[in-house]
Amino acid sequence: MRKQQVDHILGVMLESYEDVSDINVTVDRPFQVETAGELKPVSFEILGDQLTPFQTEIIALNMMRNDRKLTKALLTQGSCDLSYQLAGRARLRVNVFSQKGWFSVAMRQLPSRVPTIEEMRLPPTFYKMTDTLNGLILVTGATGTGKTTSLAAFLNEINEKKSVHAVTLEDPVEFVHSQKMSTFNQRELGADFDTFASGLRAALRQAPKIILVGEMRDKETADIALTAAETGHLVLSSLHTVDSGSTINRIIGMFDKEEEKQVRIRLADTIRWIVCQRLLPQIGGSRVAAFEILGSNLRVRDLILHGEAEEKTFYDIIEGSQAFGMMTFDQCIADHYKNGLITKETALAYASQRAALGRAIDTIRAAKGEKTTTIEGLAIDSGYDETFN
């Protein structure tokens, strides 16, 4: 099976159903695509109903293009990541991995165009964030919550209105930015640089105004990112953390204990915005993003320097700073509930502070003339009097 045949198979699979998001290649299973959250089989008569180990290996090796680094990663780590281009048709994010001694391939179709802030329905604060000249902007959340997409929309807005040089370090390159007002150089881990730390160190010699680091994975990368932010660059990156407080703690935790004080000073001086994301089930079957947004001010910097306390938290500062573009998850979730996007049960399930969100929901229901509490089903304990008499 040659590359042209592999490309033909992939093209047929992408066109087999509407809105195909993923392709799955697994031994003893047919070719499968994912659409609307379900796996669907795609038949090729000449290839049989079930894929053989040889067929999956040929597909994997064709996509890896005899790349020695990818081959080494697959053999030593059990998996490798790459991007794959179907000329003029689609771009795919690919993970090749071993299971039971055989190869499997999981592919995600990447969007053909970069989304805008408006199309993604990101908070208006994102427009304000694009005016940031230097420092550190972090977008955080669990895997699959849209961090990369939000960063792409942010960069697209800059590309539309600013003439700057941007260097991106990605694993892999997911959104290809066209050359509009800005000049973009997009580099891919493995193909263009060995590690995020080495790529970031090189980027400092490439005269960018903006540097995107796909993920801040280790101490060395975090240290160089802070240095870049301290020297006048705008550095964007992502982390797998759930809120602003855990984001600060995660970065501090990458360093040795004796470095904590200095790291806190560096973070207080460089952090401009932290955006945390969660995806919530939406009424009607899709999903909607909820955000926590923290912007830097004197109170935030003081909290970064000295840490949170019971009576002084990032949540408290954010909650009282909506006028400055900040928002808690609970404030965002309450808005989604008010607009009829999510149920009360979903809102409370994803709350940061259930009591605070519960009060906000009661206020919304009261404004609509709905009941906020119910006493149905309550009863006096019949044994109460006997117990205390």
Pairwise CA distance, residues 226 & 233, whole Å: 10
pLDDT in tens, 180-231: 999 999 999 888 998 999 999 999 999 999 999 999 999 999 999 999 999 9
Mean pLDDT of 85-98: 89
pLDDT at 378: 39
- Contacts of 1 by beta carbon, 8 Å cutoff, 6+ apart: 55, 58, 59, 62
Tell me, what's the pLDDT at 373?
A: 56
Helical residues (DSSP H) of the chain, grouped into ranges: 3-14, 53-64, 68-77, 125-129, 147-161, 196-203, 219-230, 244-253, 260-270, 298-306, 314-319, 329-338, 344-349, 354-367, 384-388
Q: Which pLDDT value is given to residue 387?
A: 42
Per-residue model confidence (pLDDT) at position 183 = 98
Distances from the Cα of 63 to the Cα of 95, 98, 100, angstroms: 10, 15, 21
Residue 287: the pLDDT is 87
User: Over 90: is that where the pLDDT of 382 sits?
Assistant: no
Mean per-residue pLDDT for 66-93? 89
| d(C-alpha 101, C-alpha 344), whole Å | 46
- Chain centroid to Cα 105, Å, comes to 22
Residue 381 has pLDDT above 90, yes or no: no
For 111-166, what is each residue's pLDDT tens digit? 878 999 999 999 999 999 999 999 999 999 998 899 999 999 999 999 999 999 99
- Tell me the domains of the chain and their CATH numbers: 3-110 (3.30.450.90), 125-367 (3.40.50.300)
pLDDT tens for 43-64 read 887 777 899 999 999 999 999 9
Report DSSP letters for 296-354, one per residue. --HHHHHHHHH--BTTB-HHHHHHT-GGGT-B-HHHHHHHHHHTTSS-HHHHHHT-SSH
d(CA 197, CA 151): 20
Q: For 284-314, how does the pLDDT look when each residue is reduced to its tens digit (9 = 90+)?
A: 878 899 999 999 999 999 999 999 998 899 9
- What's the token pair of residue 326? 């900040």
> How does residue 67 score in pLDDT terms, banded at 50, 70 and 90?
confident
Structure-token match 């003081």, residue found: 302
Nearest to 331 by CA among 291, 294, 365: 291
Rg (CA), the chain: 25
Q: Chain-wide mean pLDDT for the chain?
A: 92
Query: Averaged over 79-89, what is the pLDDT?
Result: 87
- With H, G, I as helix, E, B as strand and everything else as coil, classify residue 289: strand
350, 329 Cβ separation under 8 angstroms = yes
Which tens digit of pLDDT belongs to each residue from 317-373? 999 999 999 999 999 999 999 999 999 999 999 999 999 999 999 999 999 888 775
Q: Are 33 and 14 in contact (CB under 8 A)?
A: yes
Q: Is the pLDDT score of 388 beyond 80?
A: no
As a whole number, mean pLDDT of residues 60-80 equals: 92
Average pLDDT rounded to a whole number, residues 5-19: 91
Eight-class DSSP state of 118: T
Q: What is the pLDDT of residue 236?
A: 99
Q: Which of 239-243, 314-318, 326-330, 382-386 has the lowest mean pLDDT?
A: 382-386
Q: For residue range 249-267, what is the model confidence (pLDDT) as tens digits? A: 999 999 999 999 999 999 9
